[in-house]
Structure 1
Amino acid sequence: MCASIEKSMLIADLQQQILQWQGFKQIEKKDYAICLGELEKAFPGHVFPVGTLHEFMMESNEEEAASSGFIGGLLSFLMQKDGVGLWISSSSQLFAPSIKLFGVDPDRIIFVNMEKQKDILWALEEGLKCEGIRVVIAEVQDIDFVQSRRLQLAVEKSKVTGFVLRLKSRFRGTTTCAARWHISPLPSHVQGDMPGVGSPEWEVELLKVKNGNPSRWQVGWRQNQFQAKRLVLSSNPIYHAKRKVG
C-alpha cells in the first residue's frame, strides 16, 4: 500500500516538473482567478498558465482588434494586484483608453511604437526579462522556434507573462509558446432593449495548448468577468479548411 502511494506521488511530482519544463508555472488558482469558466478546463490543472508565452494568430485587422480586446480582459486579472504592463506595437491602432472597459488603467501600461520587427523582438525579450513587469504584449508578425526559445528562457527566470500578436504571419511552425489562440469578433451582447453597442463577444479558439485540450468557445465580457460557452466543432472539412490558422 505504501509503495503504491509513493509511486503515485512520484508520478505526480514528475508530471509537475514536466509542465514547468514546458513553460507552465505552478500557481495557486486563487492567486490568479481569471475566471474563464468552461475555457479553463482546456488547461492543465484547469488553471490559465501565467509566467509563460501565448501567441495569437490573426488574419485581419478585425481579428487583431478582437484579440486586443480579449487580452484586455486577461489584463484586468493579471494586473489586479500590482505591477505594470508593456505593450509594443508597430501599427499604433490600439486606442489606449479603450482598455478601461476591462477595468485596466492605461496609465499602468507603457505603450511603445516601433517599426522594425527585429527591434520589436529585442524590446519583447528585454521586457520579458524584467521582473518588475507583470505582462508584455508585442505585435510580431513572424517568430521561429529559436526566437521563441529565447523568449521562453526569459520568462522562466522572470515569471513574466507574454502575449505575442501575430498578424498575417508567414511562418506558422512550431514554437515554444504554451498556447496558440485565434480570436474572432462576434456581434456584441445587448441586454434587452437597452441602447448602446453592448458588451464584447468573441469566438475563441485554442488551436494548441501543451498538455491541454484545444477547443472552441463563445466568450463574452459581462459584469467585469468572462463568460464562456463551449461550441461544437463542425465535422465539415470545408469548414475546417476555411478556419485553418496554425
Structure 2
Amino acid sequence: MGTKSELVYKLQQDILMWQGFKPVAAGKAERIGLGAIEDAFPGSVFPKRAIHEFITVFPEDAAASDGFIAGLLAALMKDGAACIWISTARRLFPAALSAFNVAPERIIFMDVDTENDALWIMEEALRCEGLAAVVAEVDALSLVESRRLQLAVEESGVTGFILRKDARRMASTIATARWQISPLPSVLEEGMPGLGFPRWQVNLLKVRNGVPGNWVMEWAGTGFLEVKRVLQQDGWSADENRQIG
C-alpha cells in the first residue's frame, strides 16, 4: 500500500490518461519552444493530442492569433508534415507564414461556404495521422462538436486549433486549452530602422489539469522570446526577456 501522496499522484495520472493525455517517458518530453507557458500544461509539455481554442472576437486579435499559431506550426511541422487550414472567410495572407518559418506550400487552405462544412472537414482531417495540425476558423463551437473533435485527435495524435469569432456564442467546450492572443507594439533594437518582431499578450484562459497564466511573448525570427510573465493574482510581474528553445 503506497503513501497518501503516491496514491494521489497515481490517481492524477489515471485521470490524465482518461482525458487523453499520454504519459511521457523520463527525459523524452518534447517541448516546442514556449518556455514557461509549457510549464502550465500537465507534465510541462504542450499537448499535441488535443484541441486548442482561440478567442478571436476582434480583427486585431484574429491577426495576432494567426501569427501565434504560425509560430506553433513552425515547431509542429518541422518533421515535414503538412497542415490544413479551413475557413469560410479567410483573411490570412499565405505568404506571410514564411516570416514564422512556415512554408506556405505545406499548408492546404480550404475555403468553404458554411461552418458545418468547416467542422465536418476538420473532423475528417483530424483523423489523418500524416498531418501535423488542422486549423479551423468558425463563429462558434458547441459542446457536442468539441467532443467529436477531441475524440478524433485522441485517435490520430494530430493537433487541432479552433479560432472562435463570435463572442455572443461562447458555449462551454471540452477543449484542452482556451487562449486569447492580443497584439502589442513591437520594440525596435536601438539604432535599427523599420519594425520590430511581432509581440503579443498571451492569455491562457483555461487549461485542463494545468495552471492558466498571462505572458508577453515575441517572435524573434527563429523562435519565441519570453518577454514578461504576469502573475495577476499577486499583482506582480517580472521582466525576463529570454530566448526560448
Q: Same fold (TM over 0.5)?
A: yes
Q: Give yes or no for the alignment of 1:140 onto 2:138.
A: yes
Specify whether residues 75 and 131 from structure 1 end up closer, same or farther in structure 2 by C-alpha distance, changes over 3 A only. Answer: same
The match for 2:229 is 230
- C-alpha offsets along residues 60-90 of structure 1, whole Å, 9 cap, x if unaligned? 1110000000000000111111311000022
Cα distance, 1:223 vs. partner? 4.2
Higher-RCO chain (CA-CA 8 Å, sequence separation at least 6): 1
% identical equivalent positions: 47
Distance 2:24 2:150 in 1: 17
So what's the TM-score if we normalise by structure 2?
A: 0.88
Q: Secondary structure at the match of 2:217?
A: strand
What is the distance in 2 between the residues matched to 1:135 and 1:97? 18
Judge conservation of contact 2:50–2:158 (CA < 8 Å) in 1. yes
The answer for the alignment partner of 2:72 in structure 1 is 74
Is contact 1:22-1:210 (8 Å) kept?
no
| CA drift at 1:21 | 2.3
- The one-character-per-residue Cα deviations of 1:164-213 (angstroms, maximum 9, x if unpaired) are 00012422232110000000000113111211211010000011100111
Gap runs ≥5 in structure 2: 236-245
Residues 1:20 and 2:12 aligned together: no
Cα offset, 1:37, TM superposition: 1.5
Instruction: Please tell me whether the aligned partners of residues 100 and 221 of structure 2 are also in contact (alpha carbons under 8 angstroms).
Output: no
- Aligned partners of 2:189 and 2:81: how far apart in 1? 34
Provide the C-alpha distance between the structure 2 equivalents of 1:164 and 1:92, rounded to a whole number of angstroms.
13
The residue aligned with 1:241 is none
Instruction: Identify the residue that residue 163 of structure 1 maps to in structure 2.
Output: 161
Q: Count matched residues.
A: 233
Stretches of structure 1 lacking an aligned partner (at least 5 in a row): 237-246
Aligned-partner residue type, residue 19 of structure 1 = L
Q: C-alpha deviations, 1:16-37, integer Å up to 9, x for none? A: 2311322334446756321211
Classify 1:219/1:204 alpha carbon distance in 2 versus 1 (closer, same or farther; 3 Å). Answer: same
* Structure 1 vs Structure 2 CA RMSD: 2.1
Query: 1:81 and 1:32 mapped to 2: Cα distance?
Result: 13
Matched residue, 1:93:
91
Q: Which of structure 1's runs of 4+ aligned residues deviate more than 4 A?
A: 27-31
Residues 1:19 and 1:103: Cα distance change in structure 2 (over 3 Å): same
> Which of 27, 34, 37 in structure 1 is aligned with 2:35?
37
Q: TM-score, normalised by structure 1?
A: 0.87
Among 2, 15, 18, the residue aligned to 1:4 = 2
What residue in structure 2 maps to residue 183 of structure 1?
181
